[in-house]
Amino acid sequence: MTGSSQTGASSQELTVNGNGTFNIGANLTTVAAVGWFYSSTATAGTLDVLAGPGHAGPAHLIIGPPGGPTYSNADGSIAGNGPHNPFLNQSASFTLTAPNVTSETTITGVTFSFGTTEGANEIPGVPVAGVPEPGSIVLFATATGTLAGYFGWRRRKQIQAS
């Protein structure tokens, strides 16, 4: 990743108030405004909001959608917490430019870190296809149970007939 750099970033701010209500904030359109710092070595690149020159953390962590009209389950680490507000509203886009990286380049490892402590809660992995949504899992479990019941019933019927 030698010679790579972050050339763009965008997101939208969101502030979670002490009572769980929230306010949509500014649309951020520059690397400096988003506040995630990019660094690289010869073999790896790191995009981090908690460390590095100009980082915004612990503010500008990415927060998911509310569970209804408010963030009703938000505790004191989120709701009304000045150092963590504003958050980035559900997503952020980052543009990285790297020499010799093309559409044919394969990314072989990715690590995501969740939380407000640098390096804590790391989840290593490789990019994978989408995970089935819960509805598909329920449908699969129901179909498997139904087929198992049918074949069990059929086997008992065959044994009784013999």
pLDDT tens digit at each of 162 positions of the chain:
778 889 999 999 999 999 999 999 999 999 999 999 998 888 888 888 888 888 888 899 999 999 899 999 888 888 998 888 999 999 999 998 888 888 888 777 777 776 666 666 665 554 444 444 444 455 555 555 555 554 554 455 555 555
Tell me what the pLDDT averaged over the chain comes to: 78
Which ranges of the chain would DSSP assign to H, the alpha helix?
A: 31-34, 134-161
List for the chain the helix, strand, coil content (%; round to 5).
20, 30, 50
Q: Residue 52: which region, alpha, beta or left (left: phi > 0; alpha: psi -120 to 50)?
A: left
pTM metric for this prediction: 0.68
